[in-house]
Amino acid sequence: MAGKVITIAQQKGGAGKTTLAANLAVAFAKEGRRVALVDTDPQGSLGRWFMTRLERLEDPGLDFSTSSAWGVSYECRKLADRFDLVIVDTPPKADSDLRPALRSADLVLVPVASSHVDLWATEGVLDLAAREEVPALLVMTRTRAGTRLGTEVAQAAADLGAEVAAGGLANRVVYAESFGQGLGALEAPKTPARDEVFALARDLDARL
């Protein structure tokens, strides 16, 4: 049985795509899944994270490859034959170059930092995913519990007709700190990020 493909896409930069990709990959690997990451972003932040992880850990627990925007379909098919889960990180855009990565996916995740600007930027990706007939799910990132802004953004997302994941990533320093060390936040000691990343991974697992 071929593995599943999750594509992470958002046309606005800084929404947390790469952080989400790395943390989900670590969470799924910790739960015993064979996981491969594919970086299609020329900026290469996910690749830098993975190389740092290789230097730090004897066994990174993950596989990693890069691809052009138009070669990602072939790369995903190849990796899905060997891995349970393939997670694709994409550049911040919503144009025809993104379509192969969406077309290859079983599920598209659209991270939305807790701001209306990020939410407005989701519409292009949601439209492309709908055209490719691939289910899309908004994932709230950098959330602050109990804030009016967070509640407003979550409500506005629902008003778009987009489904929102039950869990998300809070606004925690540990995400940035662990990323710079080649780790997932759940690998840091005594952090509530561990529970929220695992909860999100379980939610996604149930949808695939």
* pLDDT recorded at residue 109: 96
Q: What is the pLDDT of residues 60-106, one digit of tens each?
A: 999 999 999 999 999 999 999 999 999 999 999 878 889 999 999 99
Which of 128 and 157 is assigned the larger pLDDT? Answer: 128
Residue 108 has a pLDDT of 97
- Would you give the DSSP letter of residue 188? S
pTM: 0.94
CA distance 56 to 76: 27
Average of per-residue pLDDT across 140-166 = 75
Virtual torsion, Cα 96, 98, 101, 104, nearest 10 deg: -40
Protein fold of 4-207: Rossmann fold (3.40.50)
Residues sharing a CB contact under 8 Å with residue 122, sequence separation 6 or more, in sequence order: 10, 11, 110, 112, 138, 157, 160, 162
